[in-house]
């Protein structure tokens, strides 16, 4: 198994860690959306993991209609309790960047869901209060500062690898997505190792930017479609309004672009 294939296994390894963490300290928090201030999770010492569905095979159990693959798979996993990550979460935080995702998740009876309103005054304090109440922990300023320093370095290393390295588009995306399932310190160790061993240039590399709402469930399809051309997946999120992307999820009412959906085996 190659190095980046091993990184793809991090999500499966997170299943075990999340289940163990849930049984021991019950402090796993799931999140969905690019606008959530994840630093709050680290400031409370929580295990934070992205929990939006990325697998098309779960859709055979779906009872939903007219939803994009991301929302449909997330709801189906939650309702059927077939995802160890969602199962382990004491709370799921979803932002309202995609208002349909926020609406559908907030209707779940199976999980405690908190909708983080991106444009609402006091939203960060509201989320902090919710987290402190659910997990019976207090915000730790030192932990927050330490997490901010690590997150800043992680962002800088990823940016350097994305814009100046010889990595392929899929390899860059694997780093950007799968490292989210590791603690901050372990992410830094891997990114430093990759940065030391991969070819890079002072000048930015040329690549085709591929704008998508969320790439985790479709990056392999995109890689095949690029046929060896240099590219980078740019996750632009969902703005809840008519926005143009290179690839857009089928049934999404908020975006325009080439239609795509999760594959099923």
pLDDT for 111: 93
Four-residue CA torsion sign, 158, 118, 253, 264: positive
Answer whether residue 144 shows pLDDT above 80. Answer: yes
Answer whether residue 1 shows pLDDT above 60. Answer: no
Which of 249 and 265 is assigned the larger pLDDT? 249
Q: What is the pLDDT of residues 47-69, one digit of tens each?
A: 999 999 999 999 999 999 999 99
Answer whether residue 231 shows pLDDT above 60. Answer: yes
CATH class held by domain 3-141:
alpha beta
The Cα–Cα gap between 234 and 224 comes to 17
Least confident range from 11-15, 54-58, 99-103, 203-207: namely 11-15
Looking at every residue in the chain, the average pLDDT score rounds to 95
pLDDT for 242: 74
Residue 205 DSSP label: P
Identify the band that residue 113 occupies on the pLDDT scale cut at 50, 70 and 90.
very high
> Taking residues 9-17, what's their average pLDDT?
91
Identify the band that residue 237 occupies on the pLDDT scale cut at 50, 70 and 90.
confident
Answer whether residue 233 shows pLDDT above 80. Answer: yes
Cite the DSSP H helix spans in 165-262.
169-178, 184-197, 219-226
pLDDT for 110: 86
The angle at the Cα of 155, spanning 45 to 15, to the nearest 5 degrees, equals 45
Identify the band that residue 15 occupies on the pLDDT scale cut at 50, 70 and 90.
very high
Cβ count within 10 A of residue 231 = 20
Q: What is the pLDDT of residues 147-196, one digit of tens each?
A: 999 999 999 999 999 999 999 999 999 999 999 999 999 999 999 999 99
Residue 96 DSSP label: S
Answer whether residue 2 shows pLDDT above 80. Answer: no
Give me the percent of the chain exceeding a pLDDT of 70.
99
> Taking residues 96-103, what's their average pLDDT?
95
> 101 is written with which tokens?
């995702």
């Amino acid at each position: 198994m190659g190095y980046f294939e091993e990184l793809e296994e991090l999500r499966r390894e997170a299943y075990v860690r999340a289940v163990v963490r849930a049984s021991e300290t019950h402090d796993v928090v799931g999140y969905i959306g690019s606008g959530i201030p994840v630093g709050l999770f680290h400031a409370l010492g929580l295990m934070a993991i992205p929990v939006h569905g990325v697998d098309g095979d779960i859709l055979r159990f779906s009872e939903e209609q007219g939803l994009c693959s991301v929302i449909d798979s997330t709801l189906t996993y939650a309702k059927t309790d077939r995802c160890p990550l969602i199962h382990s979460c004491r709370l799921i935080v979803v932002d309202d960047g995609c208002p349909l995702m926020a609406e559908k998740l907030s209707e779940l009876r199976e999980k405690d869901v908190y909708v983080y309103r991106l444009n609402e005054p006091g939203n960060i304090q509201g989320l902090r209060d919710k987290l402190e109440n659910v997990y019976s922990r207090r915000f730790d300023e030192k932990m927050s500062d330490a997490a901010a320093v690590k997150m800043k370095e992680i962002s800088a290393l990823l940016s350097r690898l994305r814009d100046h390295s010889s990595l392929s588009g899929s390899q860059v995306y694997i780093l950007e997505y799968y490292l989210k399932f590791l603690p901050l310190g372990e992410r830094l160790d891997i990114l430093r190792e990759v940065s030391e061993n991969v070819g890079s240039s002072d000048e930015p590399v040329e690549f085709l930017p591929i704008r998508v709402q969320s790439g985790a469930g479709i990056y392999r399809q995109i890689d095949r479609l690029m046929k060896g051309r240099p590219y980078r997946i740019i996750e632009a999120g969902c703005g809840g309004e008519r926005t143009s992307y290179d690839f857009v999820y089928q049934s999404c009412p908020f975006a325009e672009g080439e239609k795509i959906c999760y594959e099923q085996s």
